[in-house]
Amino acid sequence: MQNTKNNMEKSVKKEKLKKTVDGRTQDGESWLYSEEVRDHFFNPRNFMRHGEEETFKFNGMGRAGSPACGDEMVIWIQVDKKTEKIKDVRWRTFGCGSAIASTSVLSEMLIRDGGLKIDDALKIKPQDIIETLGGLPDRKVHCSVLGDKAFQAAANDYFRNTGQHNRIVVSGAKVIDKKLNITDKDIEEAVLEGVSNLEELQKKLKVEKINKDSIPEIEELIKFYNEKYYGN
């Protein structure tokens, strides 16, 4: 019964992606992108152009990822201190089309209807970005997560700049296997890169044996993150 439900949900997701353009990896493997992704890739909104850093008045800046290992996102926000609404946004992304589109659509979401209050903006989840884009391939879900993390870093920067240290959002890693130093963040990143079970996690983290006392919690986290990002 559960398998039938899962198959039906997958069919609905595919139906939503009927209007697509074809994108390809370097090795020739293809996947389907929505028209919204294509639009934001070719017509990015609120992009920080060369030299604009000198004139754009921002009071919060955040960065996520690294160009050395893949996508990197940088977001600058201009927050009205009286209303705490985000009045303007600029960004730069180094990465694939999904990364560019994710940051572009997030920037629109932040300043829509006169700008979101910063607390409301912090409630935006990767799933919201993906839904607004009309879907992303599973292997590109991490792009929306990077946008979410970059904005959270920008919001924290704003809180520091305005002396509101008590409002800083802390997302520290929890050590699950103390001997191998495997954290919940390691597991989350592994799931975002395609891991769906314990064996795949071991290969990804290059560990031969995980502490047996840690296995139940690790398996629970693998299941949790798969449900969170992929709904399965």
CA distance 145 to 155: 15
Give 22's pLDDT tier (boundaries 50, 70, 90). very low
- In order of start, what are the domains of the chain with their CATH numbers? 19-167 (3.90.1010.10), 175-230 (1.10.10)
Burial label for 32, CB within 10 Å (0-12, 13-18, 19+), is middle
To the query of whether residue 143 is one of the catalytic residues in this protein, the response is yes
Residue 60, pLDDT > 60, answer: yes
Among 37, 99, 136, 143, the active-site one is 143
pLDDT digits over 5-14, tens only? 555 554 544 4
Among 49, 69, 163, 212, the active-site one is 69
CA distance 47 to 24: 24
Q: Token pair for residue 158?
A: 């704003």
Strand partners, 69: none
